[in-house]
Amino acid sequence: MALNIERYKGFIVRVGEAKVKVVNLPDWELNYIAFPSRQKVLYRDALMHEGARIVKVTEERIYFQG
């Protein structure tokens, strides 16, 4: 099962049902999604396929750039 990736002006804004949120840091563009439980690999693989740089994966969120 592949997840749909939605982009706006080149930026990923939605992965499947998860809306992308932005961490407000002054000198670092960092985004994250909160994903449904037990679907971590599916969401991570979708982001990697789109060329996003995965920064950290927790039990509830994936932090990425791109």
pLDDT tens across 19-42, in order?
999 998 899 889 999 998 789 999
Instruction: Let me know: does 14 contact 6? Beta carbons within 8 Å.
Output: yes
State the DSSP H helix or E strand holding residue 13, giving kind and residue range, or none if neither: strand 11-15
Q: What single-letter DSSP state applies at residue 9?
A: T
Query: Where does residue 61 rank: exposed (0-12), middle (13-18), buried (19+ CB within 10 A)?
Result: middle
Q: How confident is the model at residue 1 (pLDDT cuts 50, 70, 90)?
A: low
What global pTM score does this model have? 0.89
